[in-house]
Amino acid sequence: MKLAKTLTSVSLIALSALTLAACGNADNSSKDSSSKASSSKVVKKSSSSTKTTETAAKQTAGGALQDGTYNLEELDYSNGYKVKMSITVKDGKIADSTYDYINADGKSKTEDAAYEKSMKKVSGIGPKEYIPALRDALKKNGSNVGAIDVVSGATGSSLTFKNYLQQLVQAAQAGKTDTIKIANTAKLQDGTYSLAEKNDSHGYHTVFSITVAGGKITESNYDNVNADGKSKTQDEDYEKKMKDVNKVGPKEYTKALNDSLVKNQEVEKVDAVSGATSSSNAFVLYAEQLINAAQAGNQTKIEVDNLVYGE
């Protein structure tokens, strides 16, 4: 699903970190899906190389990536192209990767001069620019999906890229080398689709489900809960401290995000909640994965062994 709204990952200002030291950053889940590692270092090689050396923030939770090559591909062509993507893991790190939009003849969208001209006229950027930019971001940040910024003018492709990379990282953690197949143009199948993170960060982890009836999303239940299953929306101390700094707390942004998805039916129409950008981005990332599950009719609960970095 292509995303048209601009959602960017941002770091909390130092004032936020200091003010909220007692409960962690106001809107920082410090996980692979929504936080930034502070120091990735790219090895300088030729522009065609995808080899990297990562200097990442210390990982405190989340399963290691198992060595091997992991592939993902869309099943259907959209506007003449479909995504093919892969990561190769060596010694527990992403050592190589591929990502492109391919047509029925196997040609890259970067070679489509007409597409490039048409998109660039509207967005100021085309496949020749945003596809290499996203490849470079993967080289720089490795498995830290949350550290990858949206490319201006290519928001939909950027967020789809992050969604697919997150799914490849999850496959690598589990050592599942079967190609992930995305039914990218299929209608949503009725049922309930759920996802849960395994690891707490700042005392909470994400749980999320959507219910589809009549081909439409009728319920969205995104939340962050502690080890006892208590919602962050019930944490009055967290609510007050976050609201003092960001003018919004879990009570407000959790409801706003869930309501927006049900109202708009499409993830690309869900706007980031001001003051809760990190949670908004995590919501979008996981909503996309749940929608992929609904397109495939796969109601198996998705368990995310989310990466947590030093807090």
> What pLDDT shows up at residue 1?
46
**SS3 sequence of 156-177:** HHHHHHHHHHHHHHHHHHHCCC
In a domain, 32, yes or no: no
Verify that 267 and 244 share a domain, yes or no: yes
Per-residue pLDDT reduced to its tens digit, 159-184: 999 999 999 999 999 999 999 999 99
In a domain, 242, yes or no: yes
Verify that 268 and 298 share a domain, yes or no: yes
- Residue 68 φ then ψ, to 5°: 145, 180
Given a cut of 50, whether residue 233 has pLDDT beyond it is yes
Verify that 151 and 242 share a domain, yes or no: no
In a domain, 20, yes or no: no
Where in the sequence is the domain holding 289, given as residue range(s)? 187-309
End residue of a domain, out of 161, 182, 203: 182
Verify that 164 and 194 share a domain, yes or no: no
Query: How do strand 191-197 and strand 180-182 relate by DSSP bridges?
Result: unpaired
More confidently predicted of 175 and 29: 175
Q: Is 183 exposed, middle or buried (0-12, 13-18, 19+ CB in 10 A)?
A: middle
pLDDT mean across residues, the chain = 85
Across 11-15, 91-95, 277-281, least confident range: 11-15
- Section 7-11 average pLDDT: 38
- State how far the Cα of 161 lies from the Cα of 138, in Å rounded to an integer: 10
Intra-chain end-to-end CA distance of the chain, in Å: 33
Per-residue pLDDT reduced to its tens digit, 33-72: 333 333 333 333 333 335 554 545 677 888 999 999 999 9
Verify that 239 and 126 share a domain, yes or no: no
In a domain, 139, yes or no: yes
In a domain, 24, yes or no: no
Q: Residue 108: beta bridge partners?
A: 102
The CATH number of the domain where 244 resides is what? Answer: 3.90.1010.20
Spatial neighbors of 153 by CB under 8 A, at least 6 apart, are 123, 124, 125, 130
Tokens of 298: 């796969």
End residue of a domain, out of 182, 197, 231: 182
* pTM for the model: 0.81
Domain count along the chain: 2
- Section 94-113 average pLDDT: 97
Given a cut of 60, whether residue 196 has pLDDT beyond it is yes
> What pLDDT shows up at residue 57?
63
SS3 for 243? helix
In a domain, 233, yes or no: yes
Verify that 172 and 223 share a domain, yes or no: no
- State how far the Cα of 168 lies from the Cα of 225, in Å rounded to an integer: 25
End residue of a domain, out of 118, 153, 182: 182
- Section 120-133 average pLDDT: 96
In a domain, 11, yes or no: no
Given a cut of 60, whether residue 32 has pLDDT beyond it is no
Percentage of the chain modeled with pLDDT above 70? 81
> What pLDDT shows up at residue 278?
87
Across 12-16, 262-266, 274-278, 298-302, least confident range: 12-16
In a domain, 293, yes or no: yes
